[in-house]
Chains A and B, each alone.
Chain A
Amino acid sequence: MSSADKIDLFRLHKDQYAASKKPQLIEADRAKYLTIDGRGAPGSQTFSAKVGALYSVAYTIKMTRKFSGGRDYTICKLEAQYWFDNESQSFADIPPEQWNWKMMIRTPDFVEDDELRSAVEKLLEKGKEPEVQNVRFEYLSEGQCVQMLHLGPYDSEHETVFQMQAFAQQQGLQFYGRHHEIYLSDPRRVPPERLKTILRHPVKAAAH
Protein backbone atom coordinates (compact mmCIF):
# COMPACT_ATOMS: atom_id res chain seq x y z
CA MET A 1 0.00 0.00 0.00
CA SER A 2 1.41 3.39 -0.91
CA SER A 3 1.59 6.07 1.74
CA ALA A 4 -0.62 8.27 -0.42
CA ASP A 5 -3.55 6.05 0.55
CA LYS A 6 -2.81 6.45 4.21
CA ILE A 7 -5.36 8.54 6.04
CA ASP A 8 -4.35 11.25 8.47
CA LEU A 9 -7.55 12.66 9.94
CA PHE A 10 -5.82 15.69 11.45
CA ARG A 11 -4.49 16.71 8.04
CA LEU A 12 -7.72 15.79 6.29
CA HIS A 13 -9.74 17.99 8.67
CA LYS A 14 -7.23 20.80 9.09
CA ASP A 15 -9.96 23.35 9.65
CA GLN A 16 -11.25 21.40 12.67
CA TYR A 17 -7.78 21.26 14.20
CA ALA A 18 -6.96 24.92 13.67
CA ALA A 19 -4.56 26.01 16.41
CA SER A 20 -4.70 29.77 16.40
CA LYS A 21 -3.40 31.92 19.24
CA LYS A 22 -6.62 33.90 19.04
CA PRO A 23 -10.11 32.48 19.63
CA GLN A 24 -11.92 31.50 16.45
CA LEU A 25 -15.10 29.76 15.39
CA ILE A 26 -14.87 26.33 13.82
CA GLU A 27 -17.37 23.71 12.69
CA ALA A 28 -16.75 20.23 14.12
CA ASP A 29 -18.43 17.53 11.98
CA ARG A 30 -19.62 14.21 13.24
CA ALA A 31 -16.46 12.33 14.17
CA LYS A 32 -15.69 8.78 15.26
CA TYR A 33 -13.48 8.17 18.28
CA LEU A 34 -12.09 5.33 20.32
CA THR A 35 -12.93 6.40 23.86
CA ILE A 36 -12.58 5.47 27.49
CA ASP A 37 -14.37 7.19 30.38
CA GLY A 38 -13.07 7.92 33.85
CA ARG A 39 -13.12 10.15 36.86
CA GLY A 40 -10.31 11.66 38.92
CA ALA A 41 -7.14 13.64 38.61
CA PRO A 42 -5.30 13.49 35.29
CA GLY A 43 -1.99 11.77 35.94
CA SER A 44 -3.39 9.47 38.63
CA GLN A 45 -2.80 5.73 38.41
CA THR A 46 -6.29 4.98 37.07
CA PHE A 47 -5.90 7.74 34.54
CA SER A 48 -2.60 6.32 33.25
CA ALA A 49 -4.00 2.78 33.11
CA LYS A 50 -6.99 3.97 31.10
CA VAL A 51 -5.00 6.09 28.67
CA GLY A 52 -2.57 3.17 28.28
CA ALA A 53 -5.46 0.81 27.54
CA LEU A 54 -6.85 3.22 24.95
CA TYR A 55 -3.48 3.37 23.16
CA SER A 56 -2.99 -0.41 23.29
CA VAL A 57 -6.36 -0.92 21.63
CA ALA A 58 -5.68 1.78 19.04
CA TYR A 59 -2.30 0.25 18.09
CA THR A 60 -3.63 -3.29 17.98
CA ILE A 61 -6.54 -2.37 15.70
CA LYS A 62 -4.31 -0.38 13.36
CA MET A 63 -1.56 -2.96 13.06
CA THR A 64 -3.95 -5.91 12.64
CA ARG A 65 -5.68 -4.02 9.86
CA LYS A 66 -2.38 -3.12 8.26
CA PHE A 67 -1.13 -6.72 8.47
CA SER A 68 -4.21 -7.99 6.67
CA GLY A 69 -3.78 -5.39 3.92
CA GLY A 70 -6.58 -3.07 5.04
CA ARG A 71 -6.57 0.66 4.52
CA ASP A 72 -3.88 2.30 6.65
CA TYR A 73 -4.22 5.42 8.79
CA THR A 74 -2.28 7.53 11.26
CA ILE A 75 -3.11 7.19 14.93
CA CYS A 76 -4.25 10.67 15.88
CA LYS A 77 -3.26 12.68 18.92
CA LEU A 78 -5.03 12.16 22.21
CA GLU A 79 -8.12 14.29 22.86
CA ALA A 80 -10.25 14.65 25.97
CA GLN A 81 -13.57 15.92 27.18
CA TYR A 82 -14.04 17.11 30.76
CA TRP A 83 -17.26 17.75 32.62
CA PHE A 84 -18.55 18.08 36.14
CA ASP A 85 -21.44 16.53 38.04
CA ASN A 86 -23.00 19.94 38.40
CA GLU A 87 -23.06 21.60 34.97
CA SER A 88 -22.73 25.12 36.27
CA GLN A 89 -19.37 24.39 37.89
CA SER A 90 -16.01 24.97 36.26
CA PHE A 91 -12.45 23.67 36.68
CA ALA A 92 -11.65 26.27 39.28
CA ASP A 93 -14.62 25.27 41.48
CA ILE A 94 -13.87 21.64 42.13
CA PRO A 95 -10.83 19.51 42.91
CA PRO A 96 -9.40 17.32 40.10
CA GLU A 97 -10.46 14.19 42.01
CA GLN A 98 -14.04 15.03 41.04
CA TRP A 99 -13.47 15.70 37.36
CA ASN A 100 -15.20 13.43 34.86
CA TRP A 101 -13.41 12.82 31.61
CA LYS A 102 -13.45 10.96 28.36
CA MET A 103 -10.11 10.21 26.69
CA MET A 104 -10.44 9.91 22.92
CA ILE A 105 -8.46 9.02 19.82
CA ARG A 106 -10.05 10.00 16.55
CA THR A 107 -10.39 7.00 14.25
CA PRO A 108 -11.54 6.66 10.62
CA ASP A 109 -15.18 5.73 10.04
CA PHE A 110 -14.15 2.61 8.12
CA VAL A 111 -12.76 0.91 11.24
CA GLU A 112 -15.43 -1.61 12.30
CA ASP A 113 -16.80 -2.78 15.64
CA ASP A 114 -15.45 -6.31 14.98
CA GLU A 115 -11.96 -4.91 14.79
CA LEU A 116 -12.36 -3.32 18.19
CA ARG A 117 -13.78 -6.54 19.66
CA SER A 118 -11.01 -8.77 18.40
CA ALA A 119 -8.32 -6.30 19.51
CA VAL A 120 -9.75 -6.25 23.03
CA GLU A 121 -9.94 -10.05 23.09
CA LYS A 122 -6.35 -10.37 21.96
CA LEU A 123 -5.12 -7.96 24.61
CA LEU A 124 -7.07 -9.68 27.39
CA GLU A 125 -5.80 -13.05 26.22
CA LYS A 126 -2.26 -11.74 26.54
CA GLY A 127 -2.97 -10.63 30.08
CA LYS A 128 -2.65 -6.91 29.33
CA GLU A 129 -4.38 -4.09 31.20
CA PRO A 130 -8.01 -5.17 31.90
CA GLU A 131 -9.17 -1.58 31.31
CA VAL A 132 -9.08 -2.39 27.56
CA GLN A 133 -12.60 -3.83 28.05
CA ASN A 134 -13.86 -0.31 28.65
CA VAL A 135 -12.67 1.10 25.33
CA ARG A 136 -15.59 1.91 23.00
CA PHE A 137 -16.42 3.59 19.73
CA GLU A 138 -18.33 6.84 20.03
CA TYR A 139 -19.38 9.64 17.72
CA LEU A 140 -19.25 13.31 18.61
CA SER A 141 -21.13 16.01 16.73
CA GLU A 142 -20.10 19.22 18.40
CA GLY A 143 -21.14 21.59 15.60
CA GLN A 144 -20.12 25.19 16.05
CA CYS A 145 -17.30 25.64 18.56
CA VAL A 146 -14.91 28.30 19.80
CA GLN A 147 -11.37 27.04 19.50
CA MET A 148 -7.97 28.38 20.52
CA LEU A 149 -4.42 27.20 21.10
CA HIS A 150 -3.33 27.14 24.71
CA LEU A 151 0.40 27.48 25.19
CA GLY A 152 1.82 26.51 28.58
CA PRO A 153 0.95 24.36 31.58
CA TYR A 154 -2.47 22.74 31.87
CA ASP A 155 -3.17 24.54 35.13
CA SER A 156 -3.19 27.92 33.37
CA GLU A 157 -5.87 26.84 30.89
CA HIS A 158 -8.50 28.96 32.61
CA GLU A 159 -6.84 32.10 31.21
CA THR A 160 -7.33 30.82 27.67
CA VAL A 161 -10.85 29.62 28.43
CA PHE A 162 -11.63 33.11 29.71
CA GLN A 163 -10.55 34.63 26.38
CA MET A 164 -12.65 32.09 24.51
CA GLN A 165 -15.69 32.89 26.61
CA ALA A 166 -15.27 36.63 26.06
CA PHE A 167 -14.95 36.01 22.33
CA ALA A 168 -18.13 33.90 22.29
CA GLN A 169 -19.98 36.65 24.10
CA GLN A 170 -18.88 39.23 21.53
CA GLN A 171 -20.31 37.00 18.84
CA GLY A 172 -23.63 36.69 20.65
CA LEU A 173 -22.86 33.09 21.59
CA GLN A 174 -22.49 31.13 24.79
CA PHE A 175 -20.72 27.93 25.86
CA TYR A 176 -22.70 24.76 26.31
CA GLY A 177 -21.82 21.07 26.64
CA ARG A 178 -18.37 19.75 27.40
CA HIS A 179 -14.94 21.33 27.43
CA HIS A 180 -12.79 19.56 24.83
CA GLU A 181 -9.02 19.55 24.49
CA ILE A 182 -6.57 18.16 21.96
CA TYR A 183 -3.06 17.38 23.17
CA LEU A 184 -0.45 18.40 20.64
CA SER A 185 2.50 17.82 23.01
CA ASP A 186 3.59 14.94 25.18
CA PRO A 187 3.51 16.17 28.80
CA ARG A 188 6.07 13.51 29.83
CA ARG A 189 8.73 15.12 27.65
CA VAL A 190 7.82 18.70 26.93
CA PRO A 191 8.43 21.24 29.70
CA PRO A 192 5.12 22.75 30.96
CA GLU A 193 5.80 26.21 29.50
CA ARG A 194 6.14 24.70 26.02
CA LEU A 195 3.06 22.48 26.06
CA LYS A 196 0.67 23.03 23.18
CA THR A 197 -3.00 22.17 23.65
CA ILE A 198 -5.96 23.05 21.47
CA LEU A 199 -8.98 24.03 23.56
CA ARG A 200 -12.47 23.71 22.10
CA HIS A 201 -15.91 24.44 23.46
CA PRO A 202 -19.26 24.05 21.66
CA VAL A 203 -21.33 27.23 21.46
CA LYS A 204 -24.92 28.16 20.75
CA ALA A 205 -26.84 31.42 20.41
CA ALA A 206 -26.81 33.29 23.72
CA ALA A 207 -30.05 33.30 25.67
CA HIS A 208 -31.64 36.74 25.95
Chain B
Amino acid sequence: MKDSTEQVYKKRILGVLIYIQQNLDRQMSLEELSKKAHFSPYHFHRIFRAVVNEPLKEHIRRLRLERAATNLRHTDRPVIDIAFEAGYQTHEAFTRAFKTAMDCSPSEFRSNNDVRTQNHRSGIHYNRRPTIKDLNLIFGDKKMEMKIEDMEPARVASVRHVGPYNEVGAAWEKLCTFLGKEGNLGPNTRFIGICYDDPEVTPPEKIRYDASVTVDDDVTGEDDVVIQTIGGGQYAITSHFGPYDQLGKTYAELFRRLMKDNREPRPEPCLEFYLNDPESTEPEDLVTDICVPLKPTR
Protein backbone atom coordinates (compact mmCIF):
# COMPACT_ATOMS: atom_id res chain seq x y z
CA MET B 1 0.00 0.00 0.00
CA LYS B 2 1.11 3.49 -0.74
CA ASP B 3 2.09 5.65 2.24
CA SER B 4 -0.45 8.26 3.28
CA THR B 5 0.35 11.91 2.73
CA GLU B 6 0.84 12.19 6.45
CA GLN B 7 3.51 9.48 6.50
CA VAL B 8 5.26 10.78 3.41
CA TYR B 9 5.38 14.26 4.91
CA LYS B 10 6.67 13.00 8.22
CA LYS B 11 9.49 11.11 6.55
CA ARG B 12 10.52 14.07 4.50
CA ILE B 13 10.34 16.46 7.45
CA LEU B 14 12.41 14.06 9.53
CA GLY B 15 15.12 14.29 6.87
CA VAL B 16 15.04 18.06 7.16
CA LEU B 17 15.20 17.96 10.97
CA ILE B 18 18.35 15.89 10.86
CA TYR B 19 19.83 18.10 8.17
CA ILE B 20 19.13 21.18 10.30
CA GLN B 21 20.88 19.66 13.31
CA GLN B 22 23.94 18.88 11.21
CA ASN B 23 24.13 22.37 9.79
CA LEU B 24 23.38 24.59 12.77
CA ASP B 25 26.69 26.42 12.29
CA ARG B 26 25.67 28.14 9.11
CA GLN B 27 22.76 30.03 7.61
CA MET B 28 20.22 27.80 5.88
CA SER B 29 17.87 29.33 3.35
CA LEU B 30 14.23 28.37 2.96
CA GLU B 31 14.94 27.27 -0.63
CA GLU B 32 17.73 24.97 0.52
CA LEU B 33 15.61 23.35 3.20
CA SER B 34 12.48 22.99 1.09
CA LYS B 35 14.54 21.41 -1.68
CA LYS B 36 16.04 18.99 0.83
CA ALA B 37 12.50 17.96 1.78
CA HIS B 38 11.16 17.92 -1.78
CA PHE B 39 8.52 20.50 -0.96
CA SER B 40 7.64 23.60 -2.91
CA PRO B 41 8.98 26.66 -1.06
CA TYR B 42 5.45 28.06 -1.20
CA HIS B 43 4.08 25.83 1.50
CA PHE B 44 7.15 24.23 3.07
CA HIS B 45 7.15 26.44 6.17
CA ARG B 46 3.48 25.74 6.81
CA ILE B 47 3.88 22.00 6.40
CA PHE B 48 6.90 22.14 8.70
CA ARG B 49 4.95 23.94 11.36
CA ALA B 50 2.01 21.60 10.98
CA VAL B 51 4.15 18.47 11.43
CA VAL B 52 6.70 19.70 13.98
CA ASN B 53 4.27 21.97 15.84
CA GLU B 54 6.86 24.72 15.90
CA PRO B 55 7.69 27.37 13.29
CA LEU B 56 10.81 26.62 11.23
CA LYS B 57 12.72 29.75 12.17
CA GLU B 58 11.86 29.26 15.84
CA HIS B 59 12.98 25.63 15.63
CA ILE B 60 16.42 26.55 14.30
CA ARG B 61 16.81 29.34 16.83
CA ARG B 62 15.87 27.04 19.69
CA LEU B 63 18.25 24.28 18.66
CA ARG B 64 21.08 26.82 18.46
CA LEU B 65 20.25 28.08 21.94
CA GLU B 66 20.02 24.57 23.33
CA ARG B 67 23.39 23.74 21.85
CA ALA B 68 24.76 26.92 23.41
CA ALA B 69 23.33 25.82 26.76
CA THR B 70 25.04 22.43 26.49
CA ASN B 71 28.33 24.14 25.70
CA LEU B 72 27.96 26.52 28.63
CA ARG B 73 27.36 23.65 30.99
CA HIS B 74 30.02 21.30 29.75
CA THR B 75 32.86 23.48 28.41
CA ASP B 76 34.96 26.39 29.64
CA ARG B 77 34.74 28.26 26.38
CA PRO B 78 34.08 32.03 26.60
CA VAL B 79 30.42 33.02 26.45
CA ILE B 80 31.04 35.31 23.49
CA ASP B 81 32.37 32.41 21.39
CA ILE B 82 29.32 30.35 22.20
CA ALA B 83 27.14 33.33 21.36
CA PHE B 84 28.78 33.70 17.94
CA GLU B 85 28.33 30.03 17.25
CA ALA B 86 24.63 30.38 18.04
CA GLY B 87 24.36 33.10 15.42
CA TYR B 88 24.41 36.16 17.70
CA GLN B 89 26.63 39.13 16.93
CA THR B 90 26.77 40.55 20.46
CA HIS B 91 26.88 39.30 24.01
CA GLU B 92 23.76 41.37 24.79
CA ALA B 93 21.66 39.95 22.01
CA PHE B 94 22.64 36.43 23.02
CA THR B 95 21.91 37.06 26.70
CA ARG B 96 18.50 38.47 25.87
CA ALA B 97 17.55 35.53 23.67
CA PHE B 98 18.95 33.02 26.14
CA LYS B 99 17.04 34.57 29.04
CA THR B 100 13.78 34.47 27.11
CA ALA B 101 14.25 30.82 26.26
CA MET B 102 15.81 29.47 29.46
CA ASP B 103 14.58 31.88 32.14
CA CYS B 104 18.11 32.71 33.32
CA SER B 105 21.23 34.39 32.00
CA PRO B 106 24.03 32.38 30.30
CA SER B 107 26.36 32.91 33.25
CA GLU B 108 23.71 31.83 35.78
CA PHE B 109 23.05 28.79 33.69
CA ARG B 110 26.76 27.95 33.61
CA SER B 111 27.23 28.30 37.38
CA ASN B 112 24.01 26.70 38.56
CA ASN B 113 23.60 22.99 38.01
CA ASP B 114 19.98 22.98 39.13
CA VAL B 115 18.76 25.00 36.20
CA ARG B 116 17.42 22.83 33.44
CA THR B 117 16.26 23.62 29.97
CA GLN B 118 12.56 23.17 29.60
CA ASN B 119 11.23 20.52 27.34
CA HIS B 120 9.64 22.05 24.31
CA ARG B 121 6.26 20.94 23.04
CA SER B 122 7.77 19.89 19.72
CA GLY B 123 9.57 17.13 21.63
CA ILE B 124 12.71 17.62 19.57
CA HIS B 125 15.84 18.64 21.39
CA TYR B 126 19.28 19.50 20.35
CA ASN B 127 21.24 16.71 21.97
CA ARG B 128 18.97 13.96 20.80
CA ARG B 129 18.57 12.82 17.24
CA PRO B 130 14.91 13.24 16.24
CA THR B 131 12.91 10.15 15.33
CA ILE B 132 9.68 9.75 13.49
CA LYS B 133 7.98 9.18 16.86
CA ASP B 134 8.70 12.80 17.76
CA LEU B 135 6.48 13.72 14.88
CA ASN B 136 3.57 11.69 16.09
CA LEU B 137 1.80 14.81 17.09
CA ILE B 138 -1.59 16.27 17.36
CA PHE B 139 -3.19 14.99 14.18
CA GLY B 140 -6.89 15.59 14.29
CA ASP B 141 -7.25 16.07 18.04
CA LYS B 142 -9.19 19.22 17.41
CA LYS B 143 -12.32 19.55 15.36
CA MET B 144 -11.81 22.15 12.71
CA GLU B 145 -14.40 23.12 10.19
CA MET B 146 -12.91 22.87 6.73
CA LYS B 147 -14.55 22.84 3.35
CA ILE B 148 -13.10 22.15 -0.06
CA GLU B 149 -14.48 24.29 -2.85
CA ASP B 150 -13.86 25.23 -6.44
CA MET B 151 -13.20 28.93 -6.38
CA GLU B 152 -14.32 31.01 -9.33
CA PRO B 153 -11.51 33.21 -10.62
CA ALA B 154 -11.98 36.77 -9.40
CA ARG B 155 -10.90 40.05 -10.95
CA VAL B 156 -9.18 42.15 -8.32
CA ALA B 157 -7.36 45.44 -7.98
CA SER B 158 -4.19 45.09 -5.90
CA VAL B 159 -1.51 47.16 -4.23
CA ARG B 160 1.73 45.31 -3.51
CA HIS B 161 3.20 45.60 -0.03
CA VAL B 162 6.79 44.56 0.67
CA GLY B 163 7.70 44.56 4.36
CA PRO B 164 6.40 43.32 7.72
CA TYR B 165 2.78 42.16 7.87
CA ASN B 166 1.91 44.66 10.58
CA GLU B 167 2.60 47.45 8.07
CA VAL B 168 0.21 46.31 5.33
CA GLY B 169 -2.16 49.11 6.38
CA ALA B 170 -0.59 51.63 3.99
CA ALA B 171 -1.25 49.39 0.95
CA TRP B 172 -4.87 48.92 2.06
CA GLU B 173 -5.36 52.66 2.54
CA LYS B 174 -3.99 53.42 -0.91
CA LEU B 175 -6.15 50.75 -2.53
CA CYS B 176 -9.38 51.57 -0.70
CA THR B 177 -9.03 55.30 -1.27
CA PHE B 178 -8.36 54.76 -4.98
CA LEU B 179 -11.41 52.52 -5.39
CA GLY B 180 -13.70 54.11 -2.83
CA LYS B 181 -13.58 57.64 -4.20
CA GLU B 182 -14.98 56.34 -7.49
CA GLY B 183 -17.78 54.44 -5.80
CA ASN B 184 -16.17 51.04 -6.28
CA LEU B 185 -16.52 49.79 -2.70
CA GLY B 186 -19.90 48.33 -1.89
CA PRO B 187 -21.70 45.57 -0.05
CA ASN B 188 -20.41 42.85 -2.38
CA THR B 189 -16.80 43.95 -2.30
CA ARG B 190 -14.43 41.29 -1.02
CA PHE B 191 -11.19 42.19 0.74
CA ILE B 192 -8.46 39.66 0.05
CA GLY B 193 -4.83 39.32 1.08
CA ILE B 194 -2.55 37.38 -1.27
CA CYS B 195 0.25 35.92 0.83
CA TYR B 196 3.42 34.96 -1.00
CA ASP B 197 5.70 34.59 2.02
CA ASP B 198 5.57 33.64 5.65
CA PRO B 199 6.76 35.91 8.46
CA GLU B 200 8.29 32.93 10.25
CA VAL B 201 10.70 32.34 7.41
CA THR B 202 11.14 35.33 5.16
CA PRO B 203 12.92 38.33 6.68
CA PRO B 204 10.30 40.98 7.53
CA GLU B 205 11.59 43.53 5.03
CA LYS B 206 11.17 41.04 2.17
CA ILE B 207 7.66 39.75 2.79
CA ARG B 208 5.45 40.16 -0.28
CA TYR B 209 1.73 40.68 0.12
CA ASP B 210 -0.94 41.98 -2.24
CA ALA B 211 -3.81 43.91 -0.67
CA SER B 212 -6.64 43.11 -3.09
CA VAL B 213 -10.26 44.07 -3.61
CA THR B 214 -12.75 42.53 -6.05
CA VAL B 215 -13.72 44.96 -8.82
CA ASP B 216 -16.07 45.17 -11.81
CA ASP B 217 -14.79 44.90 -15.38
CA ASP B 218 -14.82 48.67 -15.91
CA VAL B 219 -12.22 49.36 -13.20
CA THR B 220 -8.70 49.86 -14.52
CA GLY B 221 -5.38 50.15 -12.70
CA GLU B 222 -3.35 53.28 -12.18
CA ASP B 223 0.08 53.97 -10.65
CA ASP B 224 0.58 51.41 -7.89
CA VAL B 225 -2.80 49.78 -8.42
CA VAL B 226 -2.71 46.74 -10.71
CA ILE B 227 -5.52 44.53 -11.95
CA GLN B 228 -5.07 40.77 -11.76
CA THR B 229 -7.11 37.58 -11.67
CA ILE B 230 -6.87 35.33 -8.64
CA GLY B 231 -8.38 32.06 -7.52
CA GLY B 232 -9.61 29.39 -9.87
CA GLY B 233 -9.27 25.74 -8.99
CA GLN B 234 -9.78 23.89 -5.77
CA TYR B 235 -9.13 25.45 -2.37
CA ALA B 236 -9.35 24.22 1.20
CA ILE B 237 -11.09 26.88 3.26
CA THR B 238 -11.36 27.39 7.00
CA SER B 239 -12.31 30.37 9.16
CA HIS B 240 -9.91 31.95 11.62
CA PHE B 241 -11.58 33.73 14.52
CA GLY B 242 -9.53 36.39 16.30
CA PRO B 243 -6.57 38.72 15.82
CA TYR B 244 -4.57 38.65 12.60
CA ASP B 245 -1.33 37.91 14.44
CA GLN B 246 -2.78 34.51 15.41
CA LEU B 247 -3.44 33.41 11.82
CA GLY B 248 -0.32 31.17 11.85
CA LYS B 249 -1.92 28.77 14.34
CA THR B 250 -4.98 28.25 12.19
CA TYR B 251 -2.79 27.74 9.12
CA ALA B 252 -0.90 25.02 11.00
CA GLU B 253 -4.14 23.32 11.99
CA LEU B 254 -5.44 23.46 8.43
CA PHE B 255 -2.25 21.94 7.01
CA ARG B 256 -2.37 19.11 9.56
CA ARG B 257 -5.93 18.43 8.53
CA LEU B 258 -4.97 18.40 4.84
CA MET B 259 -2.23 15.86 5.50
CA LYS B 260 -4.64 13.67 7.35
CA ASP B 261 -7.03 13.89 4.40
CA ASN B 262 -4.22 13.07 1.94
CA ARG B 263 -4.48 16.42 0.23
CA GLU B 264 -1.49 18.37 -1.04
CA PRO B 265 -1.25 22.12 -1.60
CA ARG B 266 -0.60 23.54 -5.06
CA PRO B 267 2.44 25.78 -5.40
CA GLU B 268 0.42 28.98 -5.49
CA PRO B 269 -0.10 31.64 -2.84
CA CYS B 270 -2.65 31.23 -0.06
CA LEU B 271 -5.51 33.72 0.06
CA GLU B 272 -6.99 35.43 3.12
CA PHE B 273 -10.52 36.83 2.90
CA TYR B 274 -11.08 39.50 5.56
CA LEU B 275 -14.71 39.57 6.56
CA ASN B 276 -14.76 42.57 8.88
CA ASP B 277 -13.51 46.11 8.92
CA PRO B 278 -10.53 45.94 11.31
CA GLU B 279 -11.02 49.65 12.02
CA SER B 280 -14.32 49.16 13.76
CA THR B 281 -13.97 45.55 14.95
CA GLU B 282 -12.33 44.35 18.14
CA PRO B 283 -9.40 42.02 17.34
CA GLU B 284 -11.07 39.03 19.04
CA ASP B 285 -14.18 39.49 16.85
CA LEU B 286 -12.29 39.45 13.53
CA VAL B 287 -13.13 36.66 11.09
CA THR B 288 -10.77 35.64 8.28
CA ASP B 289 -11.28 32.86 5.74
CA ILE B 290 -7.97 31.14 4.97
CA CYS B 291 -7.83 29.51 1.54
CA VAL B 292 -5.11 27.04 0.59
CA PRO B 293 -4.87 26.03 -3.11
CA LEU B 294 -4.97 22.25 -3.57
CA LYS B 295 -3.54 19.84 -6.11
CA PRO B 296 -6.15 17.62 -7.72
CA THR B 297 -6.69 14.31 -5.90
CA ARG B 298 -4.46 11.46 -7.04
Contacts and interface: CB of A to CB of B under 8 A. Distances in A.
Do the two chains bind? yes
Interface of A: 8, 10, 48, 51-52, 55-56, 59-60, 62-64, 66-67, 74-77, 119, 122-123, 125-126, 128-129, 184-186, 188-190, 196
Nearest to A54: B187
B186 interface: yes
B183 A123 contact: yes
Contacts, number: 72
Interface in B264-286: 275-277, 279-280, 285
A19 to B, nearest CB: 11
B287 interface: yes
B159 to A, nearest CB: 14
Contacts of B182: 122, 126
A108 to B, nearest CB: 14
Interface residues of B, number: 23
A60 B287 contact: no
25 contacts: A52-B188, A55-B187, A56-B183, A56-B185, A59-B185, A59-B186, A60-B180, A60-B183, A63-B176, A63-B185, A66-B177, A66-B180, A74-B277, A74-B280, A75-B277, A75-B279, A75-B280, A76-B280, A122-B182, A128-B183, A129-B186, A184-B285, A186-B275, A188-B275, A189-B275
User: Interface residues of B: mostly helix, strand, loop or mixed?
Assistant: loop
B195 interface: no
Contact of A56 (B186, B277, B279, B280): B186
Given A63-B177, A122-B182, A190-B287, A8 B280 contact: yes
B121 to A, nearest CB: 29
A8 B186 CA distance: 21
B90 to A, nearest CB: 34
A186 B241 CA distance: 13
Contacts of B275: 186, 188-189
Contacts of A63: 176-177, 179-181, 185
Nearest to A125: B183
B183 A122 contact: yes
Contacts of B277: 74-75
Contact of A64 (B181, B187, B276): B181
Contacts of B184: 126
B173 to A, nearest CB: 8
Interface string B182-206: 1111111000000000000000000
B275 to A, nearest CB: 5
A66 B275 CA distance: 22
Interface in B85-122: none
B287 A186 contact: yes
